[in-house]
Amino acid sequence: MIKPVATVNVVPKLPRKLKRLQELAYNLRWAWDYETVSLFRRLDPDLWVKTNRNPVWMLGLISQERLDEVQNDPAFMAHLDRVCADFDEYMASKNTWYEKNYGKLNKKPIIAYFSMEFGLTECLQNYSGGLGVLSGDHLKSASDIGLPLIGVGLLYQEGYFQQYLNSDGYQQESYPINDYANLPVELQRDKDGTPIKISVPMPGRELYAQIWKVQVGRVPLYLLDSNVPDNHLEEDRNLTDRLYGGDRRTRIRQEILMGIGGIRALDALGLRPDVCHMNEGHSAFLILERIRQMMIEHGLSFQQAQEISKAANLFTTHTPVPAGLERFGFDLIDEHFTDYMKELGLSREQFIDLGREDMGDYELFSMPVFAQRFSSGSNGVAELHGVVSRKMWQWVYPNVPEKEVPIGSVTNGIHMLSWVSGEMRTLFDRYLNPDWKTREDDPEIWKGVDDIPASELWRTHERRRERLVAFARQRLREQLTRRGLSQMEIELADEVLNPEALTIGFARRFATYKRATLIFQDVERLKKILNDEKRPVQIIFAGKAHPHDEGGKAFIRDIVNLSRQPELRRKIVFLENYDMLIARYLVQGVDVWLNNPRRPKEASGTSGMKVIYNGGLNCSILDGWWAEGFSPDVGWAIGNGEEYPEEEWDHQDYIEAQALYNVLEQDIIPTFYTRGSDGLPREWINKIKASMKKLAPFFNTRRMVQEYAEKYYMPTFDLVSRMGKPNEATAIDYANWRLNLEHVWKQIKIKHVSVDKTEVTVGTEINVTAVIDLGALTPDDVSVQLYYGELNTRGEINDNSSESVTMKPISQDGHEYTFQGKVKYHATGDRGVSVRVLPYHTLLPTSIQPELITWA
């Protein structure tokens, strides 16, 4: 290969009247604005498809003749003017949710959202699956509501792999190169035009990276790229080649770049975040860089800086599967952080203690443990996931009742406008409140679904099913052609699937706990279900297995080989290379979205939420979001939420497969095929309407991001604001107070607790008095609580029924204080009472702190 002596950036030559097409192309608002997409498609429909729906690349390929033609086309220019006016109004609007609720604040916060992947649109392959699509939807809704948020991540030269199947149905991976010059990304440069670069420490050297920006509506997303000449080692230039590629050493280096490098990149851009949101633990090393900044800039000790910086960090965990958590061996910590430890003033043991997790026979450095310990707020991504997370991480908070472990939950959602079909949009425009696009979280909006005539709703959905079948046939032809099959076999692709048959979709990451092959437990029974001539059923599968997940790859091979059996060939299709385009066709066209993970291993899942807005229904295990979304009038449940120990998993698979067949045979299929005299499945349509009315207002990212803002972002910003600058008295006094607790907490002793009555009638109050030696602390430093609840069979207070009430100091004798509290019982039975002491400070985010709780 010959290296160039200079680089020339060739950009489209657009006529003056069409200049704004470039601005529209580089702002990914087009990814969820139907009119903008229509404009680019109108420019050249074939080129739009050929470029994988990438307007930047499209503008670089389009002929000058076509540009001249459209600039003289009054209809096209009117369309362009309309799109530009709408774009300008969106970008400049002050009438956003954020402005209405927080616009009067003296200072607008900078909220930095860190994620390993962002799924924004199919032409920008910077995502692998659900986590990335959720991150992309988070940014889109943050833009829609005007939230001052910034995204931070990595830009991958190859991204996640492209999937294709060999003749045996076994997954193969390819890694085509992303051409940044023809993608909606812009290199960030200084005033002289020089690319802005940052560096992070690597063993014996610095790793350099440049910064690219993706504009997502009002929200900028900054992505780091290590493929720069400053990195002399090929392994450094290749570090950002692949998402989730390489070995553990590659992974820790990517996470150092994203965490430490992400903070340095924002600094280089003149952005100092007030709040940092870690979406999963991959970016947790940002904690160290924020502490280091404070130490250098304000002369603080590590311990002081850690307490002050902790207030500004938030952490969201996405997996209840322990194997899916990010952990590193101490050898990798030693290799990459020995010099950094010295800079922070920490010994090796002190550094490892930041994220130490006991794995039984050995220990590892756990990124989620590290992130939790250094965040003011943590959350799971569904109600059930919050429960599972509190159980999983209770060990981090010894002696704290499970339900009080400080991990909350914000249930995931989807960005509606990115996923609702054009046909369904038209229907909503006709019958819903005109504000439906900007108030999708308002239940009043969705009551209008009742006004949609059943026939129109059903015909709209049927058109989308027909489009899905046509798309699946086309994709199948392409797959068979790639595999080199005969022309006869390729032409048979046009016979698969029936545009009028009940169509089930199953598409997601092929992790083994998601049990993609559960429906094949009894193949003969399944064949009878699918091949009923009067009531046919068909299934479309899609999804990628991680390159190292042999179990997931085996699932794909099994499905593909089963689909080749004569009785199943027209009934089951596996679509290769699952991406956002395939996902859109599926969620907009299927009748039923199937999800059957092994409860409680699905943190949330969001794919099933997307069918809500497109007239599809869900059939799922009661796990993740469906555990809180399900009711019999909106869809179907497989089982009743049972959980099985690992040794019974085979039995569980049998039981739940039978339950799935039963619900198909007895509920889903009869409901779909029971038609009135007008040919409409009235009961099915009622379920669609009930699903939209009940689920649509909640399972969207507008509600989700507003909830993050109200529960986490804005309270965190308020806390940071009240703390003031790190070198000011308020912050330093708080840090010193918090550090002092570690030294004096063991002095606390609950000397005596007395109850004035041991037998009472319902509705009677009892007084509880506690004498407590607070040592070097005072009542202002603590919260003394009366803890009470029902007793279990072992005579212990039942966590689930427990409550607490604050006790008040009534007298003092030296270090000993007497506290009193009252409790009233409203039901009969044996009840237990205890007393506990927790730390208290107006700047302490929560009184539940590791190792700081004393019980009577």
What is the pLDDT, as a whole number, of residue 285? 98
List % helix, strand, coil for the chain (3-state, nearest 5).
45, 20, 35
Tokens of 290: 């924020």
pLDDT band with cut points at 50, 70 and 90 for residue 3: low
Cβ atoms within 10 Å, residue 548: 9
Query: What b/e readout covers 265-297, taking b as 16+ CB neighbours within 10 angstroms?
Result: bbebbeeebbbbbbbbbbbbbbbbbbbbbbbee
Q: Are strands 537-542 and 572-575 parallel, antiparallel or unpaired?
A: parallel
pLDDT band with cut points at 50, 70 and 90 for residue 308: very high
H or E element at residue 687: helix 682-695
Cβ atoms within 10 Å, residue 576: 22
By C-alpha distance, which of 84, 21, 148, 36 is closest to 417? Answer: 36
Which of the residue ranges 255-259, 478-482, 789-793, 825-829 has the most confident prediction, judged by mean pLDDT? 255-259
> Percent of the chain scored above 70 by pLDDT?
99
Measured distance CA(609)–CA(607) in Å, rounded: 5
> Percent of the chain scored above 90 by pLDDT?
89
What is the pLDDT, as a whole number, of residue 324? 77
Mean pLDDT (the chain, rounded): 95
Measured distance CA(151)–CA(138) in Å, rounded: 9
396-448 per-position pLDDT tens digit:
999 999 999 999 999 999 999 999 999 999 999 999 999 999 999 999 999 99
Contact (Cβ atoms closer than 8 angstroms) between residue 288 and residue 278: no
Contact (Cβ atoms closer than 8 angstroms) between residue 615 and residue 634: no
Cβ atoms within 10 Å, residue 849: 19
Cis ω before 15 (30° cut-off from 0) = no
φ/ψ of 28, rounded to 5, equals -70, 10
Arithmetic mean of pLDDT, 42-65: 94
pLDDT band with cut points at 50, 70 and 90 for residue 2: low
What is the pLDDT, as a whole number, of residue 239? 97
pLDDT band with cut points at 50, 70 and 90 for residue 536: very high
What CA–CA distances, in Å, run from 157 to 126, 194, 567? 9, 21, 43
Measured distance CA(145)–CA(218) in Å, rounded: 9
pLDDT band with cut points at 50, 70 and 90 for residue 795: confident
Cβ atoms within 10 Å, residue 344: 19
Measured distance CA(98)–CA(96) in Å, rounded: 5
Contact (Cβ atoms closer than 8 angstroms) between residue 607 and residue 589: no
Q: Could you report how far apart the first and last alpha carbons of the chain are, in Å?
A: 74
556-589 per-position pLDDT tens digit:
999 999 999 999 999 999 999 999 999 999 999 9
pLDDT band with cut points at 50, 70 and 90 for residue 801: confident
* Residues ≥6 apart with Cβ < 8 Å to 452: 427, 430, 431, 689
By C-alpha distance, which of 494, 502, 501 is closest to 476? Answer: 494
The SS3 of residue 207 is strand
What is the pLDDT, as a whole number, of residue 167? 85
Contact (Cβ atoms closer than 8 angstroms) between residue 32 and residue 417: yes
φ/ψ of 13, rounded to 5, equals -100, 90
- In the beta sheet, which residues pair with residue 789? 832
Examine the pLDDT at 179 and tell me if it is beyond 70.
yes
* Residues ≥6 apart with Cβ < 8 Å to 103: 94
* Residues ≥6 apart with Cβ < 8 Å to 23: none
Examine the pLDDT at 5 and tell me if it is beyond 80.
no
Contact (Cβ atoms closer than 8 angstroms) between residue 607 and residue 616: no
Arithmetic mean of pLDDT, 343-354: 97
What is the pLDDT, as a whole number, of residue 825? 84
What is the pLDDT, as a whole number, of residue 66? 95
